[in-house]
Amino acid sequence: MNRIAVLGATGSIGTSCLDVIAHHADRLQAVALSANGRWQDLAVQAQQFRPRWCIISNPELAGAVDRGAFPRETELLFGADGLEFVASHPDVDSVVCGIVGAAGLRSAWAATEAGKRVAIANKETLVVAGPLVMSLAARTGATLIPVDSEHSAVYQSLLAGRGEDVRRVILTASGGPFRGWSRERLKDVTVAQALAHPTWTMGRKITIDSATLMNKALELIEARWLFGLTREQLAVVVHPQSVIHSLVEYVDGSVVCQLSPPDMKLPIQYALSWPERWEGVSPRMNWQEAAKLEFFPPDTDAFPALELGFEVAGRGGTCGAVLNAANEVAVERFLAGSLSFLDIPAACRQILNAHTFEPQPTLTDLLRQDAWARQEMMQWKV
Ligand code: NDP
Ligand code: MG
């Protein structure tokens, strides 16, 4: 039995993960589930999965939660400390990091420090602290397996050759709801338009990131650290069907890729089944139907966020923490109506340029820069 802590259980990744666990009840067991605010949803999940722990990470809810809604055998923990407690508990084998934003860093860190299998959806952890997390995993023997569909595809495609024979890793991008739009047309994008993703149903933050292509920028940085690549080894291609999840090009010119219908349950399951493969819960490719796989170069003029991703992947140091924090607040401001769509990458660029770069930051340095960038973005005016 693989005993799993699902952090961010009430989110898009979390609920897909619980579908996978329910489908493989003979091998997977949810022993801990977390939510931040939606404790009623968490209680419903707890009634089905009967976990040993439920964590409500917002400590202010301690007085408001109805204990009776949870199974009697489930212990309730409040606050972020509860996340670290379960992430490092000896009775937990695997931790699914499905929290959104840099808020997921501490628990991902605790799981890595404790040498767990870490199924990492929370890309922000790697964007903020990629080199530190990777060297921590190397020290503790933690197995870090990506859940992000592109990185899962790269992980699988890298099994076809030796690391030193990789020429390039090409991340695919759906292009989001505004693929083909000019910069001019993007000026008046509304929140509702940006939240309508053509191929994936996801949480609000990553959906906005997908519309600006900041998601792809974050994924470039994620890939850079996860796979030890250089900026020159990274590329992006727009592939509207979201069927090829990414590609690895080897020095001989062979390109190896992974295909499947867009559904996060597959990469989540792979992160839990690796190195095995199990019967899946996700839909399969239908080879009886005509299908088209298209590729286009990305439009870096309309989507300047992409260039930020390449730059930060190249520079490293404190850049990831600053870009990520600035973007998190920019997305909140866009959703709240106090920042326009095109301001998101523009403001991130300014704050990145203004920060005091440190090439070899500690975790404390990174958290300080994160706080600084959030403050800057809250005050940012056109
Ligand atoms: P959601 O917004 O759907 O879910 C986020 C989860 O995190 C919820 O359980 C939420 O709790 C919890 N949460 C929110 N804020 C905090 C906080 N401050 N502290 C602790 N927990 C918190 O996000 P997604 O599932 O879409 O994304 C999760 C992560 O996975 C992101 O990093 C995203 O980039 C990545 N990812 C997601 C994909 C997807 O298909 N959704 C694909 C690839 C990567 P509550 O419900 O109570 O608010
Ligand atoms: Mg992705």
DSSP 44-56: HHHHHH--SEEEE
Which atom of ligand 1 approaches the CA of 149 most closely?
43
* 77, 174, 206, 210: residue to mutate for ligand 1 pocket, most atoms within 8 A of CB: 206
Q: Say what percent of the chain tops pLDDT 90.
A: 98
Decide: residue 140, CB within 10 A, 0-12 exposed, 13-18 middle, 19+ buried.
middle
Same domain, 214 and 136: no
Is residue 226 within 8 A of residue 144, CB to CB? The reply is: yes
Cβ–ligand 1 contact at 103 (below 6 Å)? yes
Q: Report the amino acid identity of residue 16.
A: S
Task: With respect to residue 54, please indicate whether it lies within any of the assigned structural domains.
Answer: yes
pLDDT digits (tens, 9 = 90+) for 164-191: 999 999 999 999 999 999 999 999 999 9
Kindly state whether residues 116 and 168 are assigned to the same domain. no
Taking alpha carbons only, the member of 309, 343, 147, 117 closest to residue 224 is 309
The model's pTM is 0.98
Kindly give the distance from the C-alpha atom of residue 288 to the centroid of ligand 2, in angstroms, as a whole number: 27
Q: Which atom of ligand 1 is nearest to the CA of 107?
A: 20
Whether pLDDT at 382 is above 90: no
* CA dist 102 → 105, 216, 271 (Å): 5, 17, 21
- Domain containing 24: what range? 2-146
| Nearest-ligand number for the alpha carbon of 262 | 1
Q: Average pLDDT, stretch 338-348?
A: 98
User: Do 288 and 372 fall into the same domain?
Assistant: no
Give, using CA atoms, the residue closest to atom 22 of ligand 1.
Answer: 36
Over residues 47-99, the pLDDT tens digits come to 999 999 999 999 999 999 999 999 999 999 999 999 999 999 999 999 999 99
Tell me the average pLDDT of the chain. 97
Establish if 304 belongs to a structural domain: no
Tally of structural domains, the chain: 3
Distances (CA, A) of 273 to 94, 141, 201, 265, 332: 11, 18, 23, 12, 35
Q: What is the CA radius of gyration of the chain?
A: 20
Residue-wise over 174-198: b if at least 16 C-beta within 10 A, else e? bbbbbbebeeeebeebeeeebeebe
Cβ atoms 235, 226 nearer than 8 A: no
Asked whether residue 326 falls in the same domain as residue 294, the answer is no
Would 269 be classed as within a structural domain? no
Ligand 1 in contact with 98 (CB < 6 A)?
yes
- Least-confidence region, from 85-94, 179-188, 196-205, 345-354: 196-205
With contact defined as beta carbons under 8 Å apart, do 283 and 263 qualify?
Answer: yes
Give the C-alpha separation, 111 to 250, whole Å.
33
**10 Å Cβ neighbour count for 55?**
28
pLDDT, residue 198, reads 86
Cβ–ligand 1 contact at 122 (below 6 Å) = yes
Same domain for 292 and 166:
yes
Residue 381 falls inside a structural domain: yes
Same domain, 134 and 217: no
| DSSP E strands, the chain | 2-7, 28-35, 53-56, 75-78, 94-97, 117-120, 143-146, 166-173, 234-238, 244-250, 255-259
CA of 203 to the centre of ligand 1 (A): 6
**Domain for residue 271, yes or no?**
no
Tokens of 39: 């404790």
Query: Average pLDDT in the 137-151 region?
Result: 98
Concatenated DSSP letters for 162-208? -GGGEEEEEEEE---TTTT--HHHHTT--HHHHT--SS----HHHHH
Say yes or no: 9 and 135 in one domain. Answer: yes
Burial class from Cβ neighbours inside 10 Å (0-12, 13-18, 19+) for residue 276 reads exposed
> Is 332 found in the same domain as 291?
no
Nearest ligand to the C-alpha of residue 220?
A: 2
Q: Tell whether the torsion through CA atoms of 324, 359, 95 and 282 is positive or negative.
A: positive
How do 166-173 and 234-238 pair as beta strands? Answer: parallel
Residue of 100, 122, 202, 215 best suited for mutating to test ligand 1, as the one with most atoms within 8 Å of CB: 100
Report pLDDT for 200: 84
The angle subtended at Cα 368 by Cα 362 and Cα 370, nearest 5°, is 105
Q: Are 56 and 31 in contact (CB under 8 A)?
A: no
| pLDDT computed for residue 280 by the predictor | 87
**Residue 36 sits in the same domain as residue 131:** yes
Q: Judge whether 61 lies within some domain.
A: yes
Place of tokens 């952090």: 7
Which of 83, 99, 204 has the most ligand 1 atoms within 8 A of CB, as the residue to mutate?
Answer: 99
Q: Are strands 255-259 and 234-238 parallel, antiparallel or unpaired?
A: unpaired
Residues 142 and 162 in one domain: no
Rounded CA separation 116/120 (Å): 11
